[in-house]
A and B are shown apart, each in its own frame.
Chain A
Amino acid sequence: MGPGEGCAMRDARVALAQIEPKLGDLEANLDLHASAVRDARRAGAGLVVFPELSMTGYLLRDQVPEVALRPGSRELARLARLSRGIDVVAGFVEETPRHLYHNAVAYLSEGRVVHVHRKVYVPTYGLFEEGRDFASGDTLRSFDTRFGRAGVLVCEDCWHPSCAWILAQQGMDVLIVASSGPTRGARPGVGITSVAVWRDLLRATARFQTCFAVYVNRVGYEDGLNFGGGSLAVDPFGRVVASVPALEPALGIATLEAEVLRRARLSYPLLRDENLDLVHREVERIRRLRYDLPGAGKEGGTAAGRGGRDR
């Protein structure tokens, strides 16, 4: 039995908690989470998703170690307690026992930490400085939830299609993307440019991986950076099933129907047809060439050019 084959997806009612975290203030943000969880419960949601670094705010810089949480910390325990009767996805700074700091997202259920994703691609270009403050994560794992198999990515991870692809190959039904995405102005006919870009990105990702995709972005300002919100949920056909208006804090509710996933995978059996072995062979060949590893040889042309299949 392959990964995720043990449980089929079930209908899920998901709350998109588009909040405005308070920079560097764990206590205030815990209260903010508690209040949104209450609202989500009232709206009948079984899962509530918060943005990237929802417990701390984004522009932390040297505050990273001050707001970092270790497994078993009081704040993480309080956050976990919120997940009774409703699953909670929240962003925080994780400190490992070796004192590495990660931009992390936890999936919490019934008071327990089910999964932690450490942001793999910490952007360090343009206005981003995350590589100065965070270690990169080095795993991408899907995991089982009561709604089916889920995968979590953080913001920039989603710009690398390999991340969603790797999660999908592990049976992911629902992709959760937590984000703190700054806006870069608004254009006529486009609206807030970053919101429009993310909508395209989510729709393409959901279609390519035939999964639901839930994107939650924060709002508010830090040092003049404006976070645009525009959270949305997309079905595996790339259709937007729920969206939250840009710029303001709000709670969106999306219903993800398992039957839609079944039909999408029937219409587009991309996951069935994916040739893992081909990808593995080609990636391995490229890796050997790129890093000049033993066995790289003089390969690089077409299979025909090398006289047929690899041996």
Chain B
Amino acid sequence: MKREPRRPGRAGSAEPDLSLDRDLTTRILTGFIRSEVLRTGRSRVVLGLSGGIDSAVAAYLAAKALGPQGVIAALLPYRTSSPDSLRDAERVIGALGIVGERIDITPVVDGFAAAAGRVGRLRLGNVMARVRMTVLYDRSEHHHALVLGTSNKTEILLGYGTLWGDLASAINPLGDLYKTQVRELAAHLRVPASIRRKPPSADLWPSQADETDLGFSYDRVDRLLALLVDSRLSPDACVAAGFEPELVARVGRLVVRSQFKRRLPVIAKVSTRTVGWDFRYPRDWKS
């Protein structure tokens, strides 16, 4: 077994541990996809392939889990989408031999904008994300498949995604992996370098970049989140570990404020047994 050298920890210091056994993690995630899909009586997944690293890794894992014919990759460009994104998505389809479909969402989004009146950039981005979700769920019904989620743990914790849009899926193999861990897995799975090396972007408007939007790098915030969330360090301890107090406070606020995106709608309890409270069944109930 390979053993990675570890820096000896200073007394009282806190080192975030984002290391992964890539082989075993891949096995756990492909097993997850296989198990959670097959138990529903379906054998395929549909995912939106954006040309970015997250959906590429999800596609590689799904192809390993279900075989190339078990993966339907939907390319869902809007008229402003970067041509590089489409090229990279097509590269993934070609490399894996998975099924590709292209549906231009421009008429739907522009039709909505025409009907709804002035919609700013951010709201239009949300509309695009939700139109893509609508298309994916429809295609999943057509193909008798499940929608495969591609949101990573960093996005989910920070709330950096659209509720009922890109955050929506039936199963998500990446939701417990930080962005930097997705990158590590991408290298292991031999995702094309052009996809691994470009700056992360939701591509909702030209030249959008995640790290500019967020104001910090994934490398930095993932290390902080690993301490705050996984190791349950106090914010003060994170500052003592070398993170700027402003960053610690801001990330803490983002996580709290986006909690609604990680939960189903709250239901007012007026009966003896309420969904979500005391009507408790697993999602995999009787399957």
Task: Assess the B20–A224 pair: CB atoms within 8 A.
Answer: no
User: B-facing mask of A43-83, CB < 8 A → 1, else 0?
Assistant: 00000000000000001111100000000000000000000
List A167-220 residues whose CB lies under 8 Å from chain B. Answer: 183, 185-192, 220
Task: Assess the B281–A221 pair: CB atoms within 8 A.
Answer: no
Task: Check if A253 is an interface residue, CB within 8 A of chain B.
Answer: no
Task: Assess the B285–A191 pair: CB atoms within 8 A.
Answer: no
Known A59-B282, A62-B280: A226·B28 in contact at CB below 8 Å: yes
Question: Which residues of chain A are within 8 angstroms of B25 by Cβ–Cβ distance?
Answer: 185-186
Task: Check if A152 is an interface residue, CB within 8 A of chain B.
Answer: no
Task: Check if B272 is an interface residue, CB within 8 A of chain A.
Answer: no
Task: Assess the A183–B2 pair: CB atoms within 8 A.
Answer: no
Which residue of chain B has its CB nearest to the CB of A62?
Answer: B280
Extra contacts besides A23-B287, A185-B28, A221-B35 (13): CB < 8 Å: A24-B286, A59-B282, A63-B281, A185-B20, A186-B28, A187-B17, A188-B3, A188-B4, A188-B20, A189-B2, A191-B21, A222-B282, A224-B171
Known A61-B282, A63-B285: A186·B35 in contact at CB below 8 Å: no
How many residues of B are in contact with the other chain, CB < 8 A?
28
Question: Which residues of chain B are within 8 angstroms of A247 by Cβ–Cβ distance?
Answer: 24, 27-28, 31
In the complex, which of the residues B3, B279, B286 contacts A23, with contact meaning CB atoms closer than 8 Å? Answer: B286
Using CB atoms and an 8 Å cutoff, list the residues of chain B in contact with chain A: 1-4, 17, 19-21, 23-25, 27-28, 31-32, 35-36, 171, 176, 279-287
Task: Check if A223 is an interface residue, CB within 8 A of chain B.
Answer: yes
* A–B Cβ pairs within 8 angstroms, 17 of them: A23-B287, A24-B285, A59-B282, A59-B284, A60-B282, A63-B285, A186-B23, A186-B24, A186-B25, A188-B19, A188-B20, A189-B21, A191-B1, A220-B35, A221-B35, A224-B171, A226-B31
Task: Assess the A191–B24 pair: CB atoms within 8 A.
Answer: yes
Task: Check if A25 is an interface residue, CB within 8 A of chain B.
Answer: yes
Which residue of chain A has its CB nearest to the CB of B4?
Answer: A188
How long is the Cα–Cα vector from A189 to B24 in the complex, in angstroms?
A: 11
Task: Assess the B32–A221 pair: CB atoms within 8 A.
Answer: yes
Using CB atoms and an 8 Å cutoff, list the residues of chain A in contact with chain B: 23-25, 59-63, 132, 183, 185-192, 220-224, 226, 246-247
Task: Assess the A189–B284 pair: CB atoms within 8 A.
Answer: no
Q: Chain A nearest CB: distance from B122 CB in Å?
A: 31
Which residue of chain B has its CB nearest to the CB of A193?
Answer: B21
Q: Chain B nearest CB: distance from A180 CB in Å?
A: 13
Which residue of chain A has its CB nearest to the CB of B278?
Answer: A62
How long is the Cα–Cα vector from A98 to B55 in the complex, in angstroms?
A: 52
Known A224-B36, A226-B28, A247-B31: A187·B281 in contact at CB below 8 Å: no
Task: Assess the A189–B31 pair: CB atoms within 8 A.
Answer: no
Q: Chain A nearest CB: distance from B198 CB in Å?
A: 27
Which residue of chain A has its CB nearest to the CB of B24?
Answer: A186
Task: Assess the B281–A186 pair: CB atoms within 8 A.
Answer: no
Known A62-B281, A221-B36: A183·B287 in contact at CB below 8 Å: no
How long is the Cα–Cα vector from A247 to B4 in the complex, in angstroms?
A: 23
Task: Assess the B32–A186 pair: CB atoms within 8 A.
Answer: no
Known A186-B24, A190-B21: A23·B31 in contact at CB below 8 Å: no
How long is the Cα–Cα vector from A183 to B2 in the complex, in angstroms?
A: 20
Task: Assess the B21–A188 pair: CB atoms within 8 A.
Answer: yes
Q: Chain B nearest CB: distance from A229 CB in Å?
A: 11
Which residue of chain B has its CB nearest to the CB of A246?
Answer: B24
In the complex, which of the residues B1, B24, B284 contacts A223, with contact meaning CB atoms closer than 8 Å? Answer: B284
How long is the Cα–Cα vector from A25 to B285 in the complex, in angstroms?
A: 10
In the complex, which of the residues A62, A132, A183, A222 contacts B279, with contact meaning CB atoms closer than 8 Å? Answer: A62
Question: Which residues of chain B are within 8 angstroms of A186 by Cβ–Cβ distance?
Answer: 20-21, 23-25, 28
Q: Chain A nearest CB: distance from B118 CB in Å?
A: 41
Q: Chain B nearest CB: distance from A240 CB in Å?
A: 15
How long is the Cα–Cα vector from A221 to B282 in the complex, in angstroms?
A: 12
Question: Which residues of chain A are within 8 angstroms of B27 by Cβ–Cβ distance?
Answer: 247
Question: Which residues of chain B are within 8 angstroms of A132 by Cβ–Cβ distance?
Answer: 280
User: Can you list the 9 inter-chain pairs with the closest CB atoms, starting with the nearest?
Assistant: A186-B24, A186-B21, A189-B3, A221-B35, A61-B280, A59-B282, A188-B4, A223-B282, A62-B280
Question: Which residues of chain B are within 8 angstroms of A61 by Cβ–Cβ distance?
Answer: 280-282
